[in-house]
Structure 1
Amino acid sequence: MALVPYVDSVIPALSKLQNLSARFHFANRDICIAQDWRNLGVAAVVWDAAVVMCMYLELSQVELRGKVAIELGAGTGLVGIVAALLGAKVTITDRMPALDFLSANVKANLPSDVQDSVVVSELSWGENLDRYPAEGFDLVLGADIVYLEDTFVPLIQTLQHLCAEATVVLLACKIRYERDANFLSMLRQWFTVEEVYYDKQRDIHIYKAWKQPPRSDL
């Protein structure tokens, strides 16, 4: 969601973020994702939450074939790419400065017969939502998009717009700070939320959410 400029780091755990590419094997394909931490910051590196989300999509009972999906805050596009390889029709979104980089990763990693099932599109949460069909998606995906408190309200507004009662939302994230847990509390005002997976090694939670039906007492 946010573009953060590069800062040289001596923390070894962050060194992999400065690699120019990251390689994975999902959906029976080798995937090579370009990274550009120096110029685009957090939007242009693969975070653990995206990897765990892809593992979950590949191994779980989430039905993707033929489904209409949208990825929010896609960054490098890994999650949307894997969802498309697994059979979904995917709109992969991020803010405008990240789109050229995102589009290049999508083009480089999808075979020609799958590329027609993917659209890369600009989406700043809470803005110009009428560009996207209201309640028009079967699945909404987000990996490591819960970290900036200022984005919580527009993110929830965006989810409310995109989701019908049958829509499944999957969010993969770390709970780093109290504000992250506060986001889940905010989300529960409008959605039913449950944790469906936890990767202990990477400390990544996956939450499933779906829209609560309108209250009859209002």
Structure 2
Amino acid sequence: MALVPYDENVLPALSKIHKSSAEFEFANHTLRISQDWSRLGVAGVIWDAAVVLCMYLELAHVDLKGRRAIELGAGTGLVGIVATLLGGNVTITDRKPALEFLRDNVKENIPPDLQGAVQVSELTWGEGLEHYPSGGYDLILGADIVYLEDTFPALLQTLGHLSSGESELLLSCRIRYERDERFLRLLGNHFSVQEVHYDAQRDIHIYRAVKMKAKPEL
């Protein structure tokens, strides 16, 4: 779902999201990520939460080599692309309207010898989860996916399905409203959640969550 486009004259600092592409240096690669706000809205542009999460993956030395990772609500695919370049076997997901755009960014930025380590797949939270292995991912990644309260139940269901007690969730976001804090509280009902990084310049938090093990029945 796209947000209502803003007036660039009112918010010139955000005009970067109307550029057709953005360039980054991650994992010893120069990445050129296409953007398309007019066609895809929030799914077609790069948000600070994605950039900060990529920095964290690289600079915090998160071990991705050989790990099975999945990115939710990938949009342009920046996070999943960086995770692949850092050695992960990555599934990059979003809703159907974003997939062609997402595939183009992946093809453009993943070298041929690593194309087999990444796949783009349709995933609407809470739907068709049987197509994804239950508890089958070592690392679950999400950047700026917590902003629509109506999606919280489906997102929580999806996180619960994809993760096991050994999985690690990294969630990068800006806390804008009370509903964002509410999501973290809901997440805390099933996951052990802790803040592991804060980028003060961009006002972005990164939370690490691990699924709580079910208590044995008496």
- Shared fold (TM-score, shorter chain, > 0.5): yes
| TM-score interval, smaller chain | over 0.9
Q: State the AA in 1 paired with 2:192.
A: T
Report what 2:138 is aligned to: 138
TM-score, normalised on structure 1? 0.97
Contact 1:21 1:34 survives alignment (8 Å): yes
Report sequence identity in percent. 61
Q: State the AA in 2 paired with 1:21.
A: S
In 2, the alpha carbon distance for the partners of 1:8 and 1:119 equals 36
Report what 1:59 is aligned to: 59
CA-to-aligned-CA distance 1:49-100 (integer Å, 9 cap, x gap): 0000000000113110000000000000000000000000000000000000
In 2, the alpha carbon distance for the partners of 1:110 and 1:79 equals 12
In 1, the alpha carbon distance for the partners of 2:6 and 2:174 equals 22
CA-to-aligned-CA distance 1:176-217 (integer Å, 9 cap, x gap): 000000000000000000000000000000000010000235
In 2, the alpha carbon distance for the partners of 1:193 and 1:21 equals 34
Gaps of 5+ in 1: none
In 2, the alpha carbon distance for the partners of 1:4 and 1:98 equals 15
Asked if 1:174 corresponds to 2:180, the answer is no
Report what 1:88 is aligned to: 88
Q: How does 1:30-69 map to 2 (within 5 A)?
A: 30-69=30-69
In 1, the alpha carbon distance for the partners of 2:101 and 2:21 equals 12
Q: How does 1:95-106 map to 2 (within 5 A)?
A: 95-106=95-106
Deviates more, 1:54-63 or 1:167-176: 54-63
Report what 1:215 is aligned to: 215
Gaps of 5+ in 2: none
CA-to-aligned-CA distance 1:138-164 (integer Å, 9 cap, x gap): 000000000000011100000000001
Q: State the AA in 1 paired with 2:168.
A: V
CA-to-aligned-CA distance 1:1-50 (integer Å, 9 cap, x gap): x3346454321121000000000000000000000011111001000000
In 2, the alpha carbon distance for the partners of 1:36 and 1:182 equals 31
Asked if 1:147 corresponds to 2:178, the answer is no
In 1, the alpha carbon distance for the partners of 2:123 and 2:3 equals 17
In 2, the alpha carbon distance for the partners of 1:7 and 1:176 equals 17
Q: How does 1:183-198 map to 2 (within 5 A)?
A: 183-198=183-198
Contact 1:6 1:40 survives alignment (8 Å): no
Report what 1:3 is aligned to: 2
Q: State the AA in 2 paired with 1:214.
A: A
In 1, the alpha carbon distance for the partners of 2:4 and 2:137 equals 33
In 2, the alpha carbon distance for the partners of 1:156 and 1:3 equals 21
TM-score, normalised on structure 2? 0.97
After superposition, the CA RMSD in angstroms is 1.1
Aligned length in residues: 217
Q: State the AA in 2 paired with 1:61.
A: H
